[in-house]
C-alpha cells in the first residue's frame, strides 16, 4: 500500500466494551455512522493503525542474540498470561470488530455511492478482516470467528471454530477484495490497498496453512499483474530514504513527525556510534549465508574463517556489519587486539568501544546489524521512519517457488523465481552468469535451497519465526545454544594467538541448513551465551489468553 501517510492520523470512532472488543460501539452513533463516503473513509483509515498490524519478532528466532537474555518464546515459558499474547489477541479482534462494523454499515451510504464505489469500501474492510484473521489463525489455531456486529452477551457466547472453517472465510474475504479493489491508482489519487495486496496476503496465509495449491495460484496471480518489481539495490530498500519502492506490495508508512516510528534503534547500533550493540545477529544467521560459488560455508573452498565476510552472498554484508569496514563513521571490528579504530570523518584513531576488552557490554558475539542502518538511526532519539513493509515482491516470488516445490511441480519457473531474488542481491540480471544461479534439481534439494534463500533474504523482517514454525524446525533450531566470543583474555590466548580467529574453521551445516558450533564449544574456543528452549509439545501454537479461557469458556490449546 502506498501513500498512506495521510491516513496514519485517521481516528477510530469506535470504542470497545467486551474483552474481545467484538462489540465496538457503545452509543447511538452506531446506527448512523458510515452513512457518507467521508465517514466510511475515516473508519477505514482507523484500520491502519500500526498497533493492529502485528509482526513476529526476530527475538523469537535463531537469527537473534540479546546478550544472555531470552524471550518467553525462546525460553519455553510462554503461557496464557504472557502480556504480548493478550495484547496480540485483543488488538487483532479490535481491528476485526471495526472491519465488521464498516462492512455491515456500508449500505447506509449506498445512495451516495455507485455500486462499484461501495464495493471498493467493503472490499478494503474485508481485506483488513482477512489479514487479521490470518494473523490469529496462524498463531493460535483454534479461534473465535464472527463476521457480524454483536452485543456483549452474543460476544461472550461465541465459541472457537475449526481452523479450516476460518481459512475458507479468509479466502472469501480476500477473493472479494481481489474482485473489487483497484489494480493501481493514478498519480492524482490517494493510494489505498490494491488487489495485488489481497493476492499477496492470500498467498501468504495459504502457504502458512500448507495449502500449497492456493498459495501457488494466488502468488502467480500477483506476479501476472505485472505491477511490482524487485528494488534495484537490496541494501537501500530498507533505508528511511526509500519510500514506496516498486517492490512493496503492501506497506504502512512511518513518520517521525506523526510519531509512527521504528524505535529502540540504540540497542542495534554499534557502541562506537553511540549505541549499545545489545540486540545483534546470531552466529547461526551469519554462517547461513552461502558463498559466492553457491555452496555453504562448510563445503565452499572460498570460505575464510579468519574473515567470514569474504566471498559471501552480498546479502551477508548488507545484513551484518562486516569486519574492518566502515559503519556509521567508524571502521568496525570486534577483534580483541584492536583497541583503537579509525574515525572516518576525522581520520584519527579513537578508542574502540566495539571491543569487549574496552567495553564490557560490546556485542557478545562480535556481530552487529547492518540491514537498514544509516546515519538517520543516530537522530531523533533513536527513532527512524523506514516504510513498514508488510509484504514485498521478493516474498511472492519465493512463495510461488516454495508452493511449487512442495507440490513437486518442479519446472523452470521455480528456479527462475528464486534466481530473480538471488540475482538482485548481486546487482545483476537473472540471466547473468555473474552469480551462482540455482539449477533444476529434485524436490529435497530445492526445498533446502529455497528455505535458506528465505533466511538470507528476509533476516530482520519478522519472517524467520513463522518459517521455523510452519517447517516444524523450531524444535531443532530453538533448542540450540546461542554462542559468542570468549572473554577478552581467553579470546586472545586461545583463539587469536593460536591463529583461530574468528573461528578455526567453518561450522558444520546440517541437513536442514542449520549451523552447528558444538565442536568449537567442546574445544573451549567459543562461549555459550544463552541456551534456547522450545517445547514442541505445545509451542507450535500459542496459548489462548488465560482471561478468555476463564471468563469466556474458551478451550485452551494443548499442554498449556
Secondary-structure class of domain 6-234 per CATH: mainly alpha
Instruction: Please determine, for residue 192, whether its predicted confidence score (pLDDT) is greater than 50.
Output: yes
Give mean pLDDT, residues 385-390: 97
Q: CA dihedral in degrees (416, 421, 425, 427; nearest 10)?
A: 60
Q: Average per-residue pLDDT in the chain? A: 93
Ramachandran assignment for 209, one of left (phi > 0), alpha (psi -120 to 50 degrees), beta (any other): alpha
Task: Report pLDDT digits (tens) over 177-191.
Answer: 999 999 999 877 777
Q: Which residues contact 236 (CB under 8 A, 6 or more apart)?
A: 242
Q: What beta strand segments (E) does 276-316 contain? A: 279-281
Task: Report pLDDT digits (tens) over 97-156.
Answer: 999 999 999 999 999 999 999 999 999 999 999 999 999 999 999 999 999 988 777 877
List Cα–Cα distances, 369 to 62, 193, 272, 308, 372, in angstroms: 15, 31, 14, 15, 8
Burial of 504 (0-12, 13-18, 19+ CB in 10 A): middle
Instruction: Give the model's pLDDT for residue 526.
Output: 98
Instruction: Give the model's pLDDT for residue 424.
Output: 98
Domain extents in the chain: 6-234
Ramachandran assignment for 254, one of left (phi > 0), alpha (psi -120 to 50 degrees), beta (any other): beta
Instruction: Please determine, for residue 259, whether its predicted confidence score (pLDDT) is greater than 70.
Output: yes
Nearest Cα to Cα of residue 43 among 91, 92, 99: 99
Instruction: Give the model's pLDDT for residue 531.
Output: 98
User: What's the sign of the alpha-carbon dihedral 187, 193, 198, 201?
Assistant: positive
Q: Which residue has the cell 455491515?
A: 104
Instruction: Please determine, for residue 523, whether its predicted confidence score (pLDDT) is greater than 80.
Output: yes
Instruction: Give the model's pLDDT for residue 188.
Output: 78
Instruction: Please determine, for residue 23, whether its predicted confidence score (pLDDT) is greater than 70.
Output: no
Instruction: Give the model's pLDDT for residue 30.
Output: 61
Instruction: Please determine, for residue 270, whether its predicted confidence score (pLDDT) is greater than 60.
Output: yes
Cell triple for residue 354? Answer: 566495539
Task: Report pLDDT digits (tens) over 36-55.
Answer: 999 999 999 999 999 999 99
Spatial contact of 209 and 466, defined as CB atoms under 8 Å apart: no
CA distance 87 to 71: 16
Give mean pLDDT, residues 52-68: 98
Q: Which residues contact 292 (CB under 8 A, 6 or more apart)?
A: 302, 311, 312, 313, 435, 436
Task: Report pLDDT digits (tens) over 345-373.
Answer: 999 999 999 999 999 999 999 999 999 99
Three-state SS for 433-499 is CCCCCCCCCCHHHHHHHHHHHHHHHHCCCCCHHHHHHHCCCHHHHCCCEEEECCCHHHHHHHHHCCC
Spatial contact of 387 and 251, defined as CB atoms under 8 Å apart: yes
Task: Report pLDDT digits (tens) over 304-351.
Answer: 999 999 999 999 999 999 999 999 999 999 999 999 999 999 999 999
**Longest pairwise C-alpha distance within the chain:** 81
Instruction: Please determine, for residue 17, whether its predicted confidence score (pLDDT) is greater than 70.
Output: no
Instruction: Please determine, for residue 21, whether its predicted confidence score (pLDDT) is greater than 70.
Output: no
Within 13 Å and on the Cβ side, how many CA atoms surround 424? 21
* 32: confidence class by pLDDT, cuts 50, 70, 90: confident
Task: Count the Cβ atoms, other than its own, within 10 Å of residue 414.
Answer: 22
Amino acid at each position: 500500500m502506498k501513500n498512506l501517510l495521510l491516513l496514519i492520523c485517521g481516528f477510530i470512532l469506535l470504542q470497545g466494551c467486551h474483552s474481545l472488543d467484538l462489540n465496538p460501539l457503545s452509543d447511538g452513533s452506531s446506527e448512523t455512522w458510515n452513512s457518507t463516503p467521508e465517514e466510511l473513509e475515516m473508519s477505514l483509515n482507523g484500520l491502519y493503525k500500526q498497533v493492529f498490524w502485528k509482526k513476529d519478532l526476530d527475538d523469537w528466532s535463531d537469527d537473534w542474540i540479546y546478550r544472555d537474555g531470552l524471550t518467553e518464546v525462546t525460553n519455553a515459558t510462554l503461557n496464557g498470561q504472557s502480556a504480548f499474547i493478550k495484547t496480540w489477541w485483543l488488538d487483532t479482534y479490535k481491528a476485526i470488530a471495526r472491519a465488521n462494523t464498516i462492512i455491515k454499515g456500508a449500505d447506509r451510504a449506498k445512495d451516495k455511492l455507485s455500486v462499484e464505489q461501495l464495493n471498493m469500501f467493503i472490499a478494503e474492510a474485508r481485506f483488513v478482516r482477512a489479514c487479521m484473521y490470518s494473523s490469529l489463525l496462524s498463531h493460535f489455531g483454534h479461534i473465535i470467528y464472527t463476521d457480524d456486529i454483536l452485543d456483549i452477551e452474543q460476544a461472550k457466547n461465541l465459541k472457537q471454530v475449526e481452523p479450516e472453517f476460518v481459512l475458507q472465510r479468509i479466502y472469501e474475504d480476500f477473493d472479494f477484495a481481489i474482485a473489487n479493489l483497484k489494480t493501481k491508482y493514478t498519480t492524482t489519487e490517494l493510494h489505498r490497498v490494491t488487489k495485488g495486496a489481497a493476492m499477496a496476503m492470500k498467498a501468504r496465509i495459504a502457504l502458512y496453512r500448507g495449502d500449497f495449491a492456493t498459495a501457488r495460484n494466488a502468488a502467480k496471480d500477483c506476479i501476472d499483474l505485472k505491477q511490482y518489481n524487485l528494488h534495484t539495490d537490496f541494501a537501500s530498500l530498507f533505508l528511511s530514504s526509500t519510500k514506496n519502492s516498486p517492490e512493496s506490495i503492501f506497506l504502512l508508512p512511518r513518520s517521525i513527525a506523526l510519531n509512527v516510528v521504528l524505535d529502540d534503534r540504540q540497542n542495534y547500533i554499534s557502541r562506537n556510534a553511540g549505541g549499545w550493540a545489545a540486540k545483534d545477529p546470531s552466529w547461526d544467521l551469519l554462517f547461513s549465508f552461502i558463498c559466492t560459488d553457491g555452496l555453504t560455508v562448510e563445503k565452499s573452498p572460498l570460505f575464510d574463517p579468519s574473515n567470514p565476510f569474504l566471498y559471501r552472498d552480498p546479502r551477508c554484508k548488507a545484513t551484518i556489519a562486516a569486519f574492518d569496514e566502515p559503519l556509521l563513521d567508524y571502521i568496525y571490528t570486534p577483534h580483541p587486539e584492536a583497541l583503537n579504530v579509525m574515525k572516518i570523518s576525522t581520520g584519527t584513531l579513537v578508542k574502540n568501544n566495539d571491543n569487549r576488552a574496552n567495553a564490557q557490554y560490546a556485542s557478545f558475539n562480535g556481530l552487529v546489524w547492518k540491514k537498514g542502518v544509516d546515519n538517520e538511526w543516530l537522530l531523533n532519539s533513536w527513532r527512524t521512519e523506514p516504510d513498514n513493509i508488510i509484504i514485498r515482491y521478493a516474498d511472492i516470488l519465493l512463495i510461488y517457488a516454495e508452493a511449487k516445490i512442495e507440490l513437486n511441480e518442479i519446472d523452470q519457473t521455480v528456479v527462475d523465481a528464486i534466481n530473480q531474488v538471488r540475482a538482485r542481491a548481486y546487482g545483476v540480471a537473472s540471466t547473468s552468469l555473474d552469480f551462482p544461479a540455482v539449477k533444476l534439481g529434485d524436490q529435497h534439494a530445492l526445498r533446502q535451497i529455497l528455505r535458506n534463500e528465505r533466511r538470507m533474504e528476509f533476516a530482520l523482517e519478522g519472517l524467520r519465526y513463522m518459517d521455523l514454525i510452519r517447517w516444524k524446525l523450531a524444535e531443532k533450531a530453538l533448542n540450540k545454544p546461542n554462542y559468542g566470543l570468549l572473554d577478552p583474555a581467553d579470546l586472545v590466548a586461545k583463539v587469536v594467538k593460536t591463529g583461530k580467529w574468528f573461528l578455526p574453521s567453518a561450522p558444520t551445516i546440517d541437513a536442514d541448513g542449520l549451523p552447528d558450533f558444538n565442536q568449537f564449544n567442546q574445544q573451549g574456543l567459543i562461549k555459550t551465551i544463552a541456551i534456547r528452549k522450545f517445547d514442541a509439545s505445545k509451542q507450535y501454537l500459542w496459548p489462548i489468553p488465560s482471561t478468555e479461557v476463564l471468563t469466556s469458556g474458551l478451550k485452551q490449546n494443548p499442554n498449556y
